[in-house]
Structure 1
Amino acid sequence: MLQEYRQRREQLMAKIGNGTAIFRSAPTAVMHNDVEYVYRQDSDFFYLTGFNETQAVAVLAPHHAEHRFVLFVQPKDLEKEVWSGYRCGVDAAKAIYGADEAYSIADLEEKLPQYLEKADRIYYHFGRDRSFNDTIIQHYQSLLRTYPKRGTGPVAIEDTGLVMGSMRMVKSQAELELMRKAVEIAVEAHEHAFKITAPGRYEYEIQAEIEHIFRLRGGMGPAYPSIVAAGKNACVLHYIENNCQMQENDLLLIDAGCSYNYYNSDITRTFPVNGKFTPEQKTLYELVLEAQKQAIAQVQPGNNFKDPHDKAVRILTEGLVELGLLKGEIDKLIEEEKYKAFYMHRTSHWLGLDVHDSGIYQLGENPQILQPGQVLTIEPGLYIVPETKPAEDQPEIDPRWLGIGIRIEDDVLVTTDGHEVLTAGVPKEIEKMER
């Protein structure tokens, strides 16, 4: 992967020209009192370096005569490493991670200006580390004040998110291999969850079994808090309590993905706890499944990011009208977003190092064009929330539909001639979801 990281840095430096890009490692996060969460590196930082320690800064200065890639890291400290884990240290940062120069993080204030004073702008994303945000602003203002004496220096700050997003949207073969592994592990976990689900078991039991497989197979753990939602809990989009007992006629919605070497999968399946859909559950499930299939068919190079969503919305709206849950002319219902009473989220998001991955979805009025190497989710759903109040011009909801929540989600790769459903290993056809 070292060559891969090097290529990414070269690509970024080609894009920023005479600028200097600065990336800050992710801060540590406190779980409670003095206990920290397991550390997770900032995705952009990791994408460019592969470096997985906190209190680090990466600087890319393509205009510098000698040091185009510089790392500031924590120095070796045996006493602290005994308590908190091994550090790479300054010398190894050059040897292992290919930095042209490396310094102790304590030297940042002194050393950083030499990589900024000949840059025409600073590329930096203002993140949650307010103290470091202030450091960047102070250096920028200081260099602006002395600009008349040198005639060089940054005259603007640009967000790295824009340039990094365009790079990260298209996955390399190395990235796709990691994503396929994250998918493979999650597929096994979902298949196992399907086999062990039964009335009387608790949502957290299924969650525990899923996440056990994530770690057992070498994953870092869940890509996001696992959703295991039985019955009406499935109508809560980000339900994570996972503490209810499953009942005889419940559906179980599982939205769970694995993180593998920082890359993520994201899968949702919904199936009957007792092995048989009720007529209402089956009808809504078939509608969501058809919407998903037709949305996936829209994943083609040259189509735009919004096409799968538009297709899913149309199929769902037509079905809701046919079932008497909506009434009116289809185009008008879509224009007025009446479907949002039952389908309130988007159909897709980018997937990669982040579950909602880096990259824009729209350029002004124009949705992003799909191109080979992009990976996106396709996840339509229907949620008949028990407390739903119909609009004045819409019908009352027959109680037999209330409390049914369904979502079906797959991870889809845009290929040169169409698409590949990476998560096809998890069944979703009616005959496969019943037992």
Structure 2
Amino acid sequence: MNATDYAGNRARLAARLSPGSVAVIHANDIMPSNADGTLRFRQNNDLYWLSGILQDETALLLFPDHPDPNYREILFIKQVNEDFVKWHGRRHSLQEAQAISGIARVAWFSDFEQLFYEAAVQATHIYLNAIEHPRAVNSVETRDDRFARWCRKRFGLHSYKRLAPELAMLRRVKSEAELELIRKACNISGAGFRRLLRFIKPGVAERRAEAELIYEYMQHDGAWADYEPIVASGADSCILHYTSNHKRCAAGDVVLIDAAASYRLYNADLTRVLPVNGRFSPRQLQVYNAVWRVQQQLMDFIKAGRYLEEIQAHNQTLLIGELLGLGLFSQSDLERQGRAYYLGLYCYHGFGHLLGLDVHDVGSRYEPLPENSVLTVEPGIYIREEGIGIRLENNVQVTAAGVTDLMAGIPIDPAEIEALMQEVL
């Protein structure tokens, strides 16, 4: 991504704003951990998508039709002194921020309130940003939240509009530059999985597998694990978000690995299942192949214009058929208890989600899928009474004709996985 990409994103957003509107997007805060410690800083993805700036205390003001061109785009960045530089390092100069973002007018963050006032008095509408992801738990007030509270108090007579739905609609459609970053993240994730094939065996600690994954990701400049790796062996393969990774892998078990790289903030999301001793048992292979068939049929079904709910309904129909084939219940049981009962027992998540700057990316599930959106396809069957959890996850680019599998080169055929593991066991 470069300044031309960020400028294009701002132009797409400007086209969706009402006439006479000013919009503001703030950086995330640096979050505390304990004592005087802080967590690793992670930028507000909306701000990054519009500016490319990865620093805290950053804000972007957009007023596309302001009569004075100097107020149409203003980027605010943090000004630091020599003591700050000694402890924490330098931050962008005004000129560096101009070059990264493609925004001509860059000011210090200390000037934000005055310049925002000068813009707001010319505006009819103020667009405020917020986290509106349907699965978000907003227990911590963001800088955007604080600004919204201050703004409504300071400018009580303006009309206010929500910025998040506009950004979510735009971010669903990936540019070629974004798709290339996601492909890179997928390739790095595949390298991590191939590395694991050399290490998974009886007695290996789940935490060791996690360490090997992160080690591989960090060999690639700009890559990191953007979510906690799941290395779930045995019965814990049936826990969707098992992240303690505290056990050792035992012979005869499967180990479910849900872990992927982020590359320059764009995410992959990969899940594979391995037999700890290098060979699937007949029952493990039966369940594995059932899930793999569902994944393949879902990929054949997905295309631009489909709705996420439509794909999920197809996913559930396919899974019910496979559950019957696995002998987990009879047709009469199904007619008596109903589909929802057995799906809740054995298949307790959706088929997948949008993917991009967020692992669970923004975008309405009630709008048809556009071309060049990116999805995960991750059906799963979890048989807790047998200690077998199988989830297989690939990332796909949605096209008018169907999908392009961005993880086609990552081993998924159980015969190939067994053969690769036998080479090192």
Is the pair's TM-score, using the shorter chain for normalization, greater than 0.5? yes
Give the TM-score taking structure 1 as reference length. Answer: 0.88
Q: Distance in 1 between matches of 2:396 and 2:154?
A: 47
The aligned residue for residue 409 of structure 1 is 393
Counterpart for residue 135 of structure 1: 147
State the alpha-carbon separation in 2 of the partners of residues 334 and 24 from structure 1.
Answer: 48
* Offset at residue 101 of structure 1 (A): 2.4
Hey, what does 2:128 align to over in structure 1? 124
Look up the match of 2:101: 97
Out of 82, 89, 104, the residue aligned to residue 78 of structure 1 is 82
Q: Which residue of 1 aligns with 2:418?
A: 434
Residue of structure 1 equivalent to 2:135? none
Asked if 1:31 corresponds to 2:15, the answer is: no
Q: Distance in 1 between matches of 2:76 and 2:369?
A: 37
Measured at CA, do residues 96 and 347 of structure 1 come closer, stay the same or move farther in structure 2, by a change above 3 Å?
A: closer
Q: Secondary structure at the match of 1:283?
A: helix
Which shows bigger deviation, 225-234 or 89-98?
Answer: 89-98
1:338 corresponds to which of 337, 342, 367: 342
Q: Is the 8 A contact 1:76 1:90 kept in 2?
A: no
Report the CA distance shift for 1:144/1:301 in structure 2 as closer, same or farther (over 3 A).
same
Q: Which amino acid aligns with 1:41?
A: Q
Give 1:298's match in structure 2, choosing from 294, 298, 301.
301
Distance 1:373 1:295, change over 3 A: same
- What is the distance in 2 between the residues matched to 1:343 and 1:91? 53
Q: Quote how far apart the aligned CAs of 1:348 are.
A: 1.1
**Superposition deviation, residue 273 in structure 1:** 0.9
Q: Offset at 1:56?
A: 1.1
Specify the alignment match of 1:396 in structure 2.
Answer: none
Shift of 1:256: 0.6
Deviation track 1:136-156 (CA, whole Å, cap 9, x = no partner) reads 3333343335xxxxxxxx312
In the superposition, relative to structure 1, how do residues 303 and 81 fare at CA in structure 2: closer, same or farther (>3 Å)? same
Contact in 1 for aligned 2:185/2:267 (Cα 8 Å): yes
What letter is aligned with 1:178? L
Secondary structure, in 3 states, of the residue corresponding to 2:54? coil
Tell me how far apart the structure 2 counterparts of residues 132 and 313 of structure 1 sit (CA, whole Å): 38
- Counterpart of 1:68 in structure 2 is 72
1:188 is matched by which residue type in structure 2? A
Structure 2: unaligned runs, 5 residues or longer: 132-139, 420-425
Alpha-carbon distance between aligned partners in 2 of 1:80 and 1:110, rounded to the nearest angstrom: 25
Identify if the C-alpha distance between structure 1 residues 411 and 139 changes in structure 2 by more than 3 Å, giving closer, same or farther. same
Q: Following TM superposition, by how much is the alpha carbon of 1:94 offset from its aligned partner in structure 2, in angstroms? A: 3.3
Matching residue of 1:20:
22
Instruction: Give per-residue Cα distances to partners, 1:203-226, cap 9 Å, x unaligned.
Output: 111111111010002243102100
Deviation of 1:120 (Å): 2.4
Q: Is the alpha carbon distance of 1:126 and 1:168 closer, same or farther for their aligned partners in structure 2, counting shifts above 3 Å?
A: closer
SS in 1 for 2:304: coil
- Cα 1:379–1:81 change in 2 (3 A) is same
Quick check: 2:374–2:397 contact (8 Å CA) kept in 1?
Answer: yes
Equivalent in the alignment of 1:114 = 118
Given that residues 51 and 100 in structure 2 are in contact (C-alpha distance below 8 angstroms), is that contact kept between their aligned partners in structure 1? no
Please name the residue that 1:274 is paired with: 277
CA deviation digits over 1:254-289, x for unaligned, max 9? 111101000011000012111111121111111111
* Shift of residue 131, structure 1, vs aligned partner: 6.0
Equivalences for residues 156-167 of structure 1 within 5 A: 156=160, 158-167=161-170
CA distance in 1, matches of 2:326, 2:279: 21
Residue of structure 1 in register with 2:379 after alignment: 380
**Cα root mean square deviation, aligned:** 1.9
Aligned mate of 2:406, from 395, 412, 422: 422
Q: Distance in 2 between matches of 1:266 and 1:135?
A: 33
Provide the rounded CA distance (Å) in 2 between the counterparts of 1:323 and 1:181.
37
Tell me how many residue pairs correspond in the alignment. 406
Query: What is the aligned partner in structure 2 of residue 285 from structure 1?
Result: 288
Whole-Å separation in 2 of the counterparts to 1:2 and 1:10: 12
Deviation at 1:30, TM superposition (A): 2.2
What is the aligned partner in structure 2 of residue 180 from structure 1? Answer: 183
Query: Structure 1, residues 54-101: CA drift from partner, whole Å, max 9, x if none?
Result: 011111111222221111211142220221121113454335433332
Q: 2:247 aligns with which of 240, 244, 261?
A: 244
Structure 1 residues 337 and 187, CA gap change in structure 2 (3 angstroms): same
SS in 2 for 1:284: helix
Distance 1:220 1:285, change over 3 A: same
Closer, same or farther in 2 for the Cα pair 1:217/1:332, shift >3 Å? farther
Partner letter of residue 23 of structure 1? Answer: I
CA 1:337–1:20: 2 relative to 1, 3 Å: farther
Identity %: 30
Q: What is the distance in 2 between the residues matched to 1:406 and 1:141?
A: 52
SS in 2 for 1:21: strand
Match of 1:155 among 159, 168, 173: 159
Give the Cα separation in 1 of the matches to 2:226 and 2:299.
Answer: 22
CA 1:130/1:30 → structure 2, altered by over 3 Å: closer, same or farther? Answer: closer
Mark the CA change 1:193 to 1:414 in structure 2 (over 3 Å): closer, same or farther.
Answer: same
Following the alignment from structure 1 to structure 2, what is the Cα–Cα distance between the partners of residues 80 and 113?
29
Q: Distance in 2 between matches of 1:131 and 1:21?
A: 14
Quote the offset at 1:8 in angstroms.
Answer: 0.6
1:113 aligned partner, one-letter code: Y
Amino acid at match of 1:380: P
d(CA) in 1 for partners of 2:59, 2:406: 35
For residues 286-332 of structure 1, what are the alpha-carbon distances to aligned partners after superposition, in whole Å with 9 as ceiling and x for unaligned? 11111111111111123222333222211221122233313346688
1:168-247 alignment, distance < 5 Å: 168-247=171-250
Partner of 2:321: 318
Equivalent runs, 1:337-356 vs 2, <5 Å: 337-356=341-360
Q: Name the SS of the counterpart of 1:270 in structure 2.
A: strand
- Give the aligned residue type for 1:422: L
Deviation at 1:110, TM superposition (A): 2.2
Q: Where in structure 1 are there 5+ consecutive unaligned residues? A: 146-153, 363-367, 387-401
SS at match of 1:349: coil
- Once the two structures are superposed, residues 102-138 of structure 1 have per-residue CA deviations (whole angstroms, 9 ceiling, x without a partner) of 3222222222112222222221223544565343333
